[in-house]
Structure 1
Amino acid sequence: MSTAEPPEPIDPLAALRAPGDPECDVYLTGTVFLDIIFTGLDHAPVRGTESWARGMGSSPGGIANMATALARLGLHTTLASVFGTDVYGDYCWESLAVSEGVDLSPSWRLPGWHSPVTVSMAYEGERTMVTHEHPAPALGDDCLPPRSRACVAAFEPGRRDEWVRRAHAQGSQIFADVGWDDSGRWDPATLADLPYCQAFLPNTVEAQHYTRTDTPERAVRALADLVPVAVVTRGARGAVAVDSLTQETADVPGLEVEALDPTGAGDVFIAGFVTGTLAGWPLAHRLAFANLTAALSVQHFGGSLSAPGWPEVAAWWSQATALARTRGRASDVEVARRYGFLDDLMPCAVRCWPRPRALPTVGFRGK
């Protein structure tokens, strides 16, 4: 067994850091769930029968998916959330704070509160979820987020988050996605915090509903009139983006992978895009990197469990360049060309060093 010291972790913002910068790269807040994921199901559960899964894992979920994805990409990540004092809460806290290095200093433990739990079943490239939650106390209006380079928010129609306005006033770039509009209105005016947004990243269905358009390409152009950077994700087909500040546009296809579980892929995509944005990359590189991190995540089960770090990115890049050299197919050469910017980011030593992961079960304890 090798006794060599692990390489220094990659800091994508190393060249940009200066005295007086915020200690926090990304701040986010939300609910942490305990996720229990079943994979390898042959079909959806059928009433009155028992279904057997070939794979299973547990991990912190909810906002923890995003926090983990950001931390594994080398960003100093701070999370404000409520954790129960039950065993589930202990597990989620330790996984994030110890295994992933997420700063939980604004978070707190709530005695007597049942940690939220989600059971996710993945089959046929989709997922079905069952959740049990007792809503936790929300952040008060007197809660001031720390100074940070960026914040990630989840917008809901009709809801205003005071912390978003305060973070924007402190100079944070706000990156946001949005959930389903149960009212059916799909009116951008109901997204009260959109004026503070630097980048808005809905999926195709959401974007087309909000813009009354029929393609993601038309939707992203319409959204670019509302926010500085608009991104529309297209699942396995990749993503399109418009930066109205720099006049850059990008249309980057997805990567062909065998998907096991899509849980958390959207969070991982945003984490990749945030990383590239804060590092100052061109729009096409940001979009390609976000596609890559999402593609790597869906090949494994779970949300936070599957979030890739730089060793996984480096291993993929090593394989991609080898295929371009040896197999020489036009598609392989094009992928190597599109991701050539990765060459300058990763020391070779990173490719050979596995990153520790949170144990994928509540029952086992690390030694």
Structure 2
Amino acid sequence: MKQYDVIVIGDANVDLVVAGCSDMPGPGQEVFVRNITLHVGGGAALFSLSLARLGLRTAFNGVLGDDGFGQFVKERFNQSGIDTRFIRTSNRNNTGISIAINPEKDRSFISYMGSNAELDLQQLDMRSVVLGRHVHLTGYRGSRNHAEYMDMTRRIKALGLTVSIDVGWDDTGEWYKGVFELMEEVNVFFMNEVEAQHYTGCSSAEACLKTLSAHSRHTVLKLGAMGAAAAVDGRMLYRSGFEVPVVDTTGAGDAFNAGYMYGFLTGQPPEQCLLYANACGAMSVSQFGGSPEALNHAAMEQFIAEKAGRTTDHWQIAQ
């Protein structure tokens, strides 16, 4: 029996969430805001927290600075039952920091990559990977590390593990078409709608999904408040989202991924995976911080049950 359900490889940092910032200060000025809170950040880290809180045995593999913020992240991981023994401590960079401004609206970020820049798949200790039955990857950067991700994905699958990837936003604007080659190797591939539009050149979610499904047996498309869609073995599925008050959208996509992978790794059909994913994403945006501390399997099921009679959520085959 494997020691872990999931090995997560990717970024971890801290998020400073600034709420109620109506104006940015000019030179020599000071602006007072409604609140500033400290949370764990980074897509891979937030995914890990949500997945562990749902009950899957999770280990994290990344790089943190030798500082107070790095210790803060490790403490939060340990509290959620995430194994941190594979985390490397940097002696060159501090832990990354991201300042999220106005998280309840179209949030803006000021970020320092820090120790996350040192994550190198070529230096990864594969002895940690074989302890799990699934690996989740983040940090894909197009042509800059495409060869590394192709090699790592193939090595992981050769060991008998399944692989999922959230491709993430391309801050270079390259939108490297080699991503379609990577999709062919990955068991579950996540994108949001805007990313998919950039990669495919299509304008509608349906057209994007059709294009992506030609390269992947299992693609999940995040549609924000509209819900999500998936293409699995050529069959296209859709679930609308839950209507909830939005407090903080930071990390909602990562909580969504965790809900979906929880369903996938517990043997649920895609329609149930989408339901779990939408529920976790909705629970995430309902409070500050990317991974709600109240999230667990029972809370997720209760959320779904309470919303069942008061939501437009439905299940259909996309044509």
Is this a same-fold pair by TM over 0.5? Answer: yes
After superposition, the C-alpha distances for 1:151-183 in whole angstroms (9 at most, x for unaligned) are: 212232112234333212112221112233345
TM-score by length of 2: 0.86
Q: Which residue of 2 aligns with 1:298?
A: 285
In 1, the alpha carbon distance for the partners of 2:306 and 2:171 equals 43
Shift of the alpha carbon at 1:296? 0.6
In 2, the alpha carbon distance for the partners of 1:114 and 1:42 equals 27
Decide which of 303, 306, 309 is 1:319's aligned counterpart: 306
Tell me the number of residue pairs that the alignment of Structure 1 and Structure 2 aligns.
Answer: 304
Cα pair 1:65 1:307 within 8 Å, conserved: no
After superposition, the C-alpha distances for 1:212-247 in whole angstroms (9 at most, x for unaligned) are: 212111111111111111111111001111101xx5
In 2, the alpha carbon distance for the partners of 1:189 and 1:314 equals 38
Decide which of 228, 237, 243 is 2:226's aligned counterpart: 237
Shift of the alpha carbon at 1:44? 4.9
In 2, the alpha carbon distance for the partners of 1:180 and 1:140 equals 22
In 1, the alpha carbon distance for the partners of 2:168 and 2:23 equals 24
Amino acid of the structure 1 residue aligned with 2:130: P
Amino acid of the structure 2 residue aligned with 1:45: M
Decide which of 48, 51, 55 is 1:67's aligned counterpart: 48
Shift of the alpha carbon at 1:297? 0.4
Cα gap change, 1:183/1:94 in structure 2, threshold over 3 Å: closer, same or farther?
closer
Q: Which residue of 2 aligns with 1:81?
A: 62
Shift of the alpha carbon at 1:139? 4.2
In 2, the alpha carbon distance for the partners of 1:243 and 1:278 equals 15
Cα RMSD over matched residues? 2.4
Alignment of 1:1-367 (within 5 A): 21-39=1-19, 41=20, 43-48=22-27, 49-62=29-42, 63-97=44-78, 99-111=79-91, 113-123=93-103, 125-134=105-114, 135-136=117-118, 138-141=120-123, 143-144=125-126, 145-154=129-138, 155-158=140-143, 159=145, 160-161=148-149, 162-190=151-179, 193-244=182-233, 247-305=234-292, 308-320=295-307, 324=309, 331-332=310-311, 335=313
Cα gap change, 1:224/1:319 in structure 2, threshold over 3 Å: closer, same or farther?
same
Question: What percentage of residue pairs aligned between the two structures are identical?
Answer: 27
Secondary structure of 1:148 counterpart: coil
Cα gap change, 1:112/1:42 in structure 2, threshold over 3 Å: closer, same or farther?
closer
In 1, the alpha carbon distance for the partners of 2:273 and 2:124 equals 35
TM-score by length of 1: 0.76
Amino acid of the structure 2 residue aligned with 1:47: G
Off by >6 Å, runs of 4+ in structure 1: none
In 2, the alpha carbon distance for the partners of 1:174 and 1:282 equals 17
After superposition, the C-alpha distances for 1:246-287 in whole angstroms (9 at most, x for unaligned) are: x54311111111101110011111111111111221211111
Is the deviation greater in 119-128 or in 79-88?
Answer: 119-128
Shift of the alpha carbon at 1:146? 2.6
Cα gap change, 1:311/1:280 in structure 2, threshold over 3 Å: closer, same or farther?
closer
Cα gap change, 1:305/1:195 in structure 2, threshold over 3 Å: closer, same or farther?
same
Structure 2 unpaired stretches of 5+? none
In 2, the alpha carbon distance for the partners of 1:140 and 1:172 equals 18
Shift of the alpha carbon at 1:185? 4.4
Amino acid of the structure 1 residue aligned with 2:270: L
Cα pair 1:298 1:306 within 8 Å, conserved: no
In 2, the alpha carbon distance for the partners of 1:115 and 1:207 equals 30
Amino acid of the structure 1 residue aligned with 2:95: S
Cα gap change, 1:52/1:229 in structure 2, threshold over 3 Å: closer, same or farther?
same
In 2, the alpha carbon distance for the partners of 1:95 and 1:230 equals 31
Cα pair 1:122 1:260 within 8 Å, conserved: no
Amino acid of the structure 1 residue aligned with 2:229: V
Structure 1 unpaired stretches of 5+? 1-20, 325-330, 339-367
Shift of the alpha carbon at 1:148? 2.4
Bigger Rg, structure 1 or 2:
1
Cα pair 2:54 2:295 within 8 Å, conserved: yes
